[in-house]
Amino acid sequence: MYRLLAIDLDGTLLSPQKIITRRTYNALMQAITAGMQLVIATGQTLNVLRAVCADLPLTVPQIIYNGAIIADASTGAIVREQLVPQEYILSTLARLQEMNLYRGYHTHEHVYVDHNTPGAQKWYRPPVPPALEVADVASIYPQTCIKLVGIGDEGTLRAKRQQLEDLLAGQLYVTQASRDLLEFLHPAASKGNALKFLAEELAIAPEEIVAIGDNHNDIGMLTFAGLGIAMGNAHDEVKAAATYVTSRNSKDGVAVALEKMVLPYLEAASS
């Protein structure tokens, strides 16, 4: 029986208007009422998660910062934290600059970005504080770093990600969180590893887990879960890693997947 539901936020659970639609909310609540636990697995901060998921019962720890942190949504208490190793921060920022990427630096208090980083002021909405623009993101070092970010043109970013994966192999986990955003984390930090940790803590087997996502950073949890679902708006590399491909997030893809692949199974198991 399915016992845990792990869902990405942007491009998956949220519509293009950054809301959880009524149909999706109802499907989630049916799954939860039938006994499933809900984990939001996002690259976003805990404040963002709290703001957009305020009406959902998040009773188990949540995955934030792409798995670098697992935290209790109600208290903010950190269950597990894996920070970027200090010795790789400046060299990685230099590589990003050499590749003509704008850079971001996430601390516990703020998100810092290079001056004039495209779209940075639209990343967060109140009550979440905006990103702070600075002349040189490297000046934030040696503050504690949860993750580094590279922002660039979506036409070339996937190729640059593959280059950086090779260059930083064994140093940092490199992932793509959206079409124009790369992220660099502790080498053991990922949504997949965080989900594995939570499953072990909750004594839930992989085959009892359903995971839904749309981007490269979701592949680890899609392949770990017994049922890995890719969104219709996902990149082909994500769809190839999934068990099932649902509709786009603009067409209630999460609700469609739950209604077709999960809720009937839960009903049959309880009857």
pLDDT in tens, 192-249: 999 999 999 999 999 999 999 999 999 999 999 999 999 999 999 999 999 999 999 9
CB of 189 closer than 8 Å to CB of 67: yes
Domain that holds residue 62: 4-81+190-270
CATH of the domain at 221: 3.40.50.1000
CB of 95 closer than 8 Å to CB of 167: yes
Shared domain for 103 and 15, answered yes or no, is no
Shared domain for 58 and 115, answered yes or no, is no
pLDDT one digit per residue (tens) for the chain, 271 residues: 899 999 999 999 999 999 999 999 999 999 999 999 999 999 999 999 999 999 999 999 999 999 999 999 999 999 999 999 999 999 999 999 999 999 999 999 999 999 999 988 888 877 788 999 999 999 999 999 999 999 999 899 999 999 999 999 999 999 998 889 999 999 999 999 999 999 999 999 999 999 999 999 999 999 999 999 999 999 999 999 999 999 999 999 999 999 999 999 998 888 7
Q: Among candidates 184, 206, 189, which has minimal Cα distance to 6?
A: 206
Shared domain for 107 and 159, answered yes or no, is yes
Q: Which residue has the tokens 């969180």?
A: 177
CB of 73 closer than 8 Å to CB of 65: no
Map residue 214 onto helix, strand or coil: coil
Q: How many domains is the chain partitioned into structurally?
A: 2
CB of 23 closer than 8 Å to CB of 106: no
How far are the Cα atoms of 76, 99, 102, 108 from residue 165, in angstroms, in the given order? 32, 14, 18, 25
CATH of the domain at 125: 3.30.1240.10
The last residue of a domain, from among 124, 152, 185 = 185
| Amino acid, res. 7 | I
**pLDDT for 127:** 78
